[in-house]
Amino acid sequence: MPLKKSEDAPSQRRASSGALRLIFPPALNWALLAYAVFAIAIGWAYVASRIHTDYVQTLEAERNSLRGIGATLRSATLAMLNDGVGAAVAGANELQSVGGITRASSGELSATLQKQLTGGDYVRFLFLADNGRFVLASRERASDSWTPDWLTTTQAGPGNSWVGKPMVDPERPGALVIPIGQRVASGEGSTAWAGGLFSFDGFDELYEQFRDQIMMMALIAADGTILVRVPKVAGRDVSAGDSVASNELFQRAIAGGNAGVIEGYGTVLKKDMIYAYDLLNGYDFYIVAGLARDTALAPWRERRQMISGPPRHSPP
């Protein structure tokens, strides 16, 4: 009997080993499969994280680019305004020596303004207005008359600047100008208005400099009136009736402060847009630079396709 037990031991061990082989290989396969799934999940999570990070960084880079372009446009616009409004204010200050605008003769008013017309062609006219008296001067001529209807400075409120609606150029019937002015001292403690009529045709040249980076640019008054829009929509220049006062994007921008970036559906261009806006120092209107969201994300989509194949949808 002991001999039989000894003979049976190897067969028992072989049976036990066979049973283990039957049990452990499937378990090992499942472990490897689980590890593979886990590794793939980690890989896709990493890819998704890279894609989302790239998405966020791409948008932020475009926002910063728009802010930079907006700052350049702001500086150019302020320089143009200084050549006009600043020149008219300088003329008003010069007239203080003869008692102010009200007491100056027509010849003195005209000569003073025309002497100050040294800016670029975008300054079409300079004007001074006080107590119903009004003088308008271009490089060719000057007129001294009663305050015109377009000079709605009584609606300016307590502010020191005023921006009117686009109007027909008095000497170029086919063109528009924007009247812009500032309060100035005049005579015995009274206040007057000094300003200019501006042609912003030069904005077309500015737009050409940045057209690879922006889709549009505009000047928009604080009340929503569109003063300048480049490029023109359907070949049409801005009319005095164009306004975005009721536009949800404009209302959000006004509520957000004097400067920032706003995103949403643009009703003029009929696209999802990114806008950078900035209120000009000392004036009640904004400089705006805009870019379509799809255009901003185009480089990101190309990189995403290289990483993960054709995109199915954009991240929220």
Same domain, 139 and 242: no
Distance CA 264, CA 292 (A): 10
- The larger pLDDT score, comparing residue 221 to residue 101, is at 221
| Overall average pLDDT of the 189-205 stretch | 86
Q: Tell me the Ramachandran region of residue 242: left when phi exceeds 0, alpha when psi lies from -120 to 50, beta otherwise.
A: beta
Please check whether residue 164 is in contact with residue 178, taking contact to mean a CB–CB distance below 8 angstroms: yes
Same domain, 75 and 88: no
Same domain, 62 and 144: no
What CATH number has the domain bearing residue 122? 3.30.450
Q: Place 38 in a pLDDT band, splitting at 50, 70 and 90.
A: low
- Tell me how far CA of residue 308 lies from CA of 205, 296, 316, in angstroms: 41, 20, 18
Indicate the length of the chain as a whole number: 316
Distance CA 153, CA 220 (A): 18
In a domain, 1, yes or no: no
Which positions ≥6 away from 222 have C-beta within 8 Å?
163, 254, 279, 284, 285, 286
Helix intervals (H) in the chain = 2-81, 87-94, 106-116, 203-210, 248-256, 293-308
In a domain, 17, yes or no: no
Which pLDDT score is estimated for 3?
Answer: 47
Helix (H, G, I), strand (E, B) or coil at 232: coil
Which pLDDT score is estimated for 163?
Answer: 94
- For residue 188, give its domain range: 81-198
Lowest mean pLDDT among 87-96, 210-219, 238-247, 271-280: 238-247
Q: Give me the amino acid identity at 189.
A: G
Structure tokens that stand for 84 in this block: 């006009």
In a domain, 39, yes or no: no
- Torsion over CA: 274, 276, 279, 285 (sign): negative
In a domain, 14, yes or no: no
Of the residues 141, 164, 198, which one is the last residue of a structural domain? 198
Locate tokens 């300048």: which residue?
228
Which pLDDT score is estimated for 199?
Answer: 93
Please check whether residue 124 is in contact with residue 177, taking contact to mean a CB–CB distance below 8 angstroms: yes
Same domain, 87 and 186: yes
Same domain, 257 and 193: no
Same domain, 166 and 220: no
Of the residues 198, 220, 245, which one is the last residue of a structural domain? 198
Of the residues 178, 198, 218, which one is the last residue of a structural domain? 198
DSSP letters along 35-98, please? HHHHHHHHHHHHHHHHHHHHHHHHHHHHHHHHHHHHHHHHHHHHHHHIIIIIHHHHHHHHGGGG
Question: How many CA within 13 A on the CB side of residue 240?
Answer: 13
Full-model pTM: 0.77
- For the CA atoms of the chain, what is the radius of gyration? 35
In a domain, 16, yes or no: no
Same domain, 120 and 207: no
Same domain, 191 and 208: no
What CATH number has the domain bearing residue 74? 3.30.450.20
Overall number of domains in the chain:
2
Lowest mean pLDDT among 63-77, 124-138, 297-311: 297-311
Lowest mean pLDDT among 75-79, 110-114, 160-164, 209-213: 209-213
Distance CA 34, CA 24 (A): 15
Distance CA 259, CA 66 (A): 12
In a domain, 256, yes or no: yes
The model's pLDDT over 78-114, given as tens digits with 9 standing for 90+, comes to: 999 999 999 999 999 888 877 777 788 888 889 999 9
Which pLDDT score is estimated for 236?
Answer: 73
Structure tokens that stand for 304 in this block: 């995403």
Q: Place 203 in a pLDDT band, splitting at 50, 70 and 90.
A: confident
Q: Place 197 in a pLDDT band, splitting at 50, 70 and 90.
A: very high
Rank 13-22, 75-84, 234-243, 263-272 by mean pLDDT and report only the highest: 75-84
Q: Chain-centre distance of CA 182, in angstroms?
A: 25
The model's pLDDT over 274-288, given as tens digits with 9 standing for 90+, comes to: 899 999 988 989 999
In a domain, 32, yes or no: no
Same domain, 126 and 62: no
Least Cα distance to 136 among 162, 102, 170 occurs for 170
Same domain, 102 and 187: yes
Locate tokens 């409004």: which residue?
85
In a domain, 194, yes or no: yes
Q: Give me the amino acid identity at 207.
A: Y
Helix (H, G, I), strand (E, B) or coil at 146: strand
Task: Tell whether the model's pLDDT for residue 210 goes beyond 60.
Answer: yes
Same domain, 119 and 214: no
Same domain, 292 and 147: no
Q: Give me the amino acid identity at 156.
A: A
